[in-house]
């Protein structure tokens, strides 16, 4: 049955494909980085050269390893996301060495099959619309909370957009991701939808309207210690903030951005690039329709 989930949280918006790819790279290298740090701290013997490296140089080695790993994970996440958003073309689903031959043939059927497989992979990564599980992010939510003290909120959105000639007529969708502080209070509700059977049109869905009054505690601005989780996670995972759709919704002081580490006002270019007021307060709402097996 249809449902709605509501939560009020302090959030930072990021690109879902970048977050997923960089988080996967971070997870893949956890064992390597841990061993590197242990060897640097406790290694002994004449050949334990890594013990002589300063911490700053060790950090640079870790960043180089992460950049190489991110290059591998980004490819799959980006390709699957483009297909889910219907931004791909038929040629995106074939290797360059066979494109010349395929241009001389009709490859529409091959494209449709490959496109559907790619979208199915995106469901494994970010979850399928109307379902509560969010694929890769649900699988690793405990790690994200343990290492960074943050959660990820994922939602799929439909768009009205003229389809291209090779599209099968399915809806255009995009996926939105927010990194959020843990939420202790949220609200959710399900409701029934009415149908009627008639002789001329079969089973049809009747207009349905529901209204609820939810009680959510008035939010208190988190302490600076909690807000520092965002820049730390952004730096470690190599992420950049994405401006929200409506900048009027930003909860900002109207002044300069605060340096979370020192509490001082910052005027550097890095901070100027970020939306003023991030992280900001958002009312996060997901309205789920019935799943196919419920229709």
218-258 pLDDT, tens digit per residue, is: 667 888 899 999 999 999 999 988 876 543 333 333 333 33
Alpha-carbon span 186 to 8, nearest angstrom:
7
Return the pLDDT at 47: 64
Alpha-carbon span 25 to 70, nearest angstrom:
5
Indicate if the pLDDT at residue 183 is higher than 70.
yes
Here the tokens at position 151 are: 């959660």
Helices and strands (H and E) in the chain: how many: 10, 9
More reliable by pLDDT, 22 or 189: 22
Q: Specify the DSSP class assigned to residue 201.
A: T
Q: What angle do CA 253, 259, 262 make, to 5 degrees?
A: 125
More reliable by pLDDT, 125 or 269: 125
Q: What angle do CA 112, 116, 122 make, to 5 degrees?
A: 145
Cis peptide preceding 279, ω within 30 of 0? yes
Over the chain, what is the mean pLDDT? 76
Element spanning 154, H or E: strand 151-159
Query: What are the residue boundaries of the structural domains of the chain, listed by start?
Result: 3-14+89-294
Indicate if the pLDDT at residue 214 is higher than 70.
yes
Alpha-carbon span 271 to 55, nearest angstrom:
26
| Residue whose structure tokens are 């790690």 | 143
């Amino acid at each position: 049955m249809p449902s709605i989930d509501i939560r009020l949280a302090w959030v930072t918006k990021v690109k879902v494909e970048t977050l997923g790819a960089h988080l996967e790279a971070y997870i893949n290298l956890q064992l390597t980085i841990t061993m590197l740090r242990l060897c640097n701290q406790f290694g002994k013997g004449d050949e334990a050269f890594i013990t002589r490296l300063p911490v700053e140089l060790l950090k640079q080695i870790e960043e180089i390893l992460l950049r190489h790993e991110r290059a591998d994970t980004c490819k799959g996440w980006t390709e699957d996301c483009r297909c889910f958003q219907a931004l791909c073309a038929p040629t995106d689903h074939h290797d360059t060495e066979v494109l010349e031959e395929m241009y001389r043939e009709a490859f529409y059927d091959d494209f449709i099959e490959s496109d559907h497989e790619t979208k199915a992979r995106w469901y494994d990564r970010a979850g399928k619309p109307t379902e509560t599980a969010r694929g890769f992010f649900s699988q690793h939510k405990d790690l994200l909370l343990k290492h960074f003290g943050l959660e990820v909120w994922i939602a799929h959105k439909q768009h009205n957009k003229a389809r291209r000639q090779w599209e099968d007529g399915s809806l255009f969708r995009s996926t939105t991701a927010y990194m959020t502080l843990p939420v202790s209070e949220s609200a959710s509700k399900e409701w029934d939808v009415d149908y009627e059977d008639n002789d001329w049109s079969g089973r049809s869905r009747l207009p349905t309207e529901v209204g609820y009054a939810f009680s959510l505690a008035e939010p208190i601005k988190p302490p600076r210690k909690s807000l520092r989780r965002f820049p730390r996670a952004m730096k470690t995972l190599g992420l950049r903030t994405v401006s929200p759709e409506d900048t009027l919704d930003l909860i900002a002081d109207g002044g300069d951005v605060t340096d979370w580490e020192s509490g001082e006002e910052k005027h550097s270019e890095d901070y100027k690039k970020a939306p003023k007021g991030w992280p900001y307060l958002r009312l996060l709402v997901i309205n789920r329709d019935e799943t196919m097996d419920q229709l």
